[in-house]
Structure formats: structure tokens, C-alpha cells
Amino acid sequence: MMSEPRRMHPATTIFNFIRLIKDFIIPLLIGSFAFVRNISASSWIWMLAAALIVAGMIAFSFLSWYRFTYRVEEEELRIEYGLLIRKKRYISKNRIQSIDLTAGIIHRLFGLVRVEVQTAGSDNAAEAGLKAVTRNDGEQLRDILKGLKDTTGEPQEGMNQVQSPEHPDVPAEKIKFPRLLFAATTSGGIGVFLSLFALVGSQFNQMVPEGFLKGIYNWAVHLSIMVIIVLVLIICLVLWLMAIAGTFLRYSYFTIYKREDEIFITRGLLEKKQVTIPLKRIQGIRIQENIFRQPFGYAAVYAEVAGGAADKNDDFSIALFPLLKTSEIPGFIGQFLPDFQYEQNWRGLPRRSARRFILRAAAPVLLVAIPLIYFFPMYSWTALIVLAAASALGFLRYKDAGFAVQRNQLYFRNRGLSRETIVTKKNRIQSMSSSEHWFQWRKSLKTSYFSIASHSGLGKRFRVKDMEAAEADELHGWYSFQEK
């Protein structure tokens, strides 16, 4: 019975408590580290203060669990919560876009799931969430809100029974271990860990004694360049191993299946996540071939989804499959996203834009290298190597850039470091532009852009630089409603 107000699982108290610690205590601790160190008070006062704070937090966590109720009534999900100020949130059933069930480590200990309800609103936070309910309740709630069952939990008449991904008629795809291993070893997720390092580093100064850093610095200055290179390599290796672990955590047991007009994805080693994507929310498909995978002919496929269903680590796009052979992609898309086709005849850029691509890649390197060479002439060979690499990258970018038009579909291809291909449809493009400046005009080149909807009304823009002006105009005409 879902029409009665009910509470979440009592274990929610734990989650509330953890949340409190994460939101307030840790930043507070880090922030006040330098400050606290300089105050001398007896240790028992500190102990007492800490105990009081913890007790208060536990009470707060418990009460916020106690005061939170949810029910399904009159075709609405009704949530009431709030300790002192009571808040009510009613979400109409047919406004709900997707319902995701996630289970973290602690959830799995208790057999619980987190329910996230997303509506078409532009808010990128989940519109409503139940932090922890039993898996059974979670699935029942999902089925009721999707209109598969009525509020007593009985299957709705005339509705198709929920089909499992094992059902032979359901298109489904599971990741196999060798694939996962390959995906992990070639993942470009190093950047994420680098930023983590930077974050730790920013608080690092306050945590170590002053003399220590100076000592390290003096030591490092006296090292030879070879030792520094070895150190850098070791750090890279560690980061790489962390990226591998990250991919395993994220994409283990990755399964995608399609039911009617929705795609379901479940994944995760420790945290089990289930994501639902309604097909009509998909604005485009992005195929990413990073530099480690491209030589082997592998790519990752993402969906650009409008609205809330955001998976923050993926730049607000959702991985449809972490690793596919490029030759498998057309079949995959045909199976899961029948609205899209993936067959195209690429049109590249004219020869004369190659120079502009190389210049663009090499110029920043030159800018940094010239003063460095001036001051450290003995290392000019490294600068030359980097310069050559940058120019080569520029040339690759030129080689890979291109576009294709196929009836109402538009393809853009581009390279930053990874080669990215985006496929979208005319009625998904929110606006289209082309631009030129004097240097482009002189060689009759143009840059072409289009924007598709993404999260919180922001949109994503894709572009191809320096294409033949006439072709950019042709794209403009393809998009326009006016007679030419």
C-alpha cells in the first residue's frame, strides 16, 4: 500500500549523519585547522565539545528521518519533510521523466536503494529523492509511478508486464570482462584524479610543518633531470592505476537494455546504479575515441540527454556503453536507438585550413617555449620535441575534423585530444550559427556551430572550425526554413 504516508528505512539516519559530516564538519575542520592549532585549551573541553556536536548531529539525523514521509496519492508522489518548517512536495505522475534506483555500499549492506525522481524541469538536482528504502519498496514505487501497477501494488490491467533484461525479446548488452579491462586501462580519467590531487594540494600547506616543504624543495632542486622524469613517471603510473580502479568501480556489470521507449542502464561494482533514459530525451549521440583507444579501433558511446538525468562525472552525458569496437557502433545504435542511423560519408576540410590548425596548436607552445629557451638554452631540445608533438596534434585535428549530413541528421567530428563524433537530428538542434573573421574570409573558410539542449537550460555547443565557406553556407541552408 503506497497511499498511506510511510517513512523511509530507519537506516536513513546513518545517511543523514554522513551527509551532515560531509557538508559541515569536514570543511569546518579543514578551514579551522590553522586557527585551532594556535589555541590552547584543556583536552577535555575539546572532547566534551566534540561529543556534544556529535550527539546533536545524531539527534538531527534521526529527526529528519522521522519527519520525512512519502506516499502516492491521486496520481501524485507526495513528500512531506522538514524539522521545524514543514515542506510538502507533490509531483504529478505524468510529469516524471525517469526514476533511478541506486545502491551504495552502505545501502547494499541493508538491502536498500536510493530513489531519485527526475522531472522535465531544468533543475539539475534530482527533483525528489528518497535516501533509502528497501529494494522491494523502491521497485514497487517505481512501477506505481510509471503506471505499471496501482497503489496497492497489483499489476495494472492492460499494461505490459515488466520484462527483465534476460527476456529474449528485450535488446540487451552486457559488458564482458576483457572489454572492461581494456576500457579501464585505456580510460582517459586521469584528469579527474589530477584535479583531486590539486584539491588536496591546496589544503596541503596548512597540514605539513613549514620546514618540511622547504626541505623537499631544496632536495628536488638538486636532483638531476633524469630523477625528476622518473618521479613524474611514477606519479603517472599511480594515477593510471587509480583511473583503472575508477573505471572498474563505475562500469563493472555494465548492462544496457531497452524496454518500449526507454533505455535502462545498470552498472557499478560497489555502488549499484540504475539509470532510466526515455528515448525522447536523447538529444544526440556522442562517440568518443580517446588517443589510447583509437589505434585499436575502440570507442565509448555517450548519450546527450536533456534535463535532469545527469551523471556529473560524464560531463552531463550518460555512457550508453563504455567500450565498443567502432565497427559495432552502427549495429548498437540501430538496436538501442532506432531513431538514429549511423552511416555517413564524411566531408573533410579543405587543404588550406591545415595550416591554421597547426598554427593554433603550436602557437601556445611557442609562446611558453621562447622565454624558456632564452633562459635555459641547454634544454631547448625538449621544447623542440613538445613543439613537434603540438604541431602533429594540430595536423591530426585538421585530418579528423569534418561533418556529414544525412537527411535530417547532422554529424560533426572534432578532436581535442580524443576524437569526438556527435550525431544529432535537425529537430534537436536549438540554434545554428556560422562565423568568420578576416583571416578566414581571406581564404573563404567559415566555422560552423550548433547547440543542443543539455542540463539546466545551458545547452551544449559543438563546432567545426575552418570548413569550406560554401559548405558552411550549405549547412546553414539545410537548417533554415526559408527558401534559398
Partner 1 sequence: MRQPPKNFIAKDAVKVWKISALIPITVFWLVLIGLTFMAGRFSVPLWTVLIGWAVMATATYLSVFLIPAIKWRRWRYEVFEQEIDVQHGIFIVQRTLVPMIRVQHVDTKQGPILKHFKLATVTVSTAATTHEIPALLEEEASELRDRISRLARVDEDDV
Least distance (Å) from partner 1 to the CB of residue 446? 9
Name the DSSP class of 155.
B
Least distance (Å) from partner 1 to the CB of residue 436? 6
Which CB, 202 or 408, lies closer to partner 1? 408
Q: Quick one: which of 49, 57, 50 has its CA closest to 13?
A: 57
Least distance (Å) from partner 1 to the CB of residue 408? 12
Least distance (Å) from partner 1 to the CB of residue 52? 49
Which ranges of 146-298 does DSSP label H, i.e. alpha helix?
177-185, 190-207, 210-221, 225-251
Which CB, 325 or 461, lies closer to partner 1? 461
3-class DSSP assignment, residue 26: helix
Which CB, 400 or 468, lies closer to partner 1? 468
Least distance (Å) from partner 1 to the CB of residue 334? 21
Q: Please check whether residue 346 is in contact with residue 404, taking contact to mean a CB–CB distance below 8 angstroms.
A: yes
Q: Please check whether residue 139 is in contact with residue 153, taking contact to mean a CB–CB distance below 8 angstroms.
A: no
Least distance (Å) from partner 1 to the CB of residue 122? 8
User: Which residues contact partner 1 by CB under 8 A?
Assistant: 280-281, 283, 306, 427-438, 451-454, 457-461, 469, 473, 476-477, 479-482, 484
Q: Please check whether residue 353 is in contact with residue 367, taking contact to mean a CB–CB distance below 8 angstroms.
A: no
Strands 445-452 and 419-425: unpaired
The enclosing H or E element of 359 equals helix 354-375
Burial class of residue 394 in the structure, from the number of CB atoms within 10 Å of its CB (0-12 exposed, 13-18 middle, 19+ buried): buried
Which CB, 396 or 472, lies closer to partner 1? 472
Grid cell 552486457 is found at 174
Least distance (Å) from partner 1 to the CB of residue 483? 9
Q: In the numeric block, which cell numbers belong to residue 28?
A: 569546518
Q: In the numeric block, which cell numbers belong to residue 464?
A: 567545426
Which CB, 34 or 363, lies closer to partner 1? 363
CA distance 234 to 130: 43
Burial class of residue 36 in the structure, from the number of CB atoms within 10 Å of its CB (0-12 exposed, 13-18 middle, 19+ buried): exposed
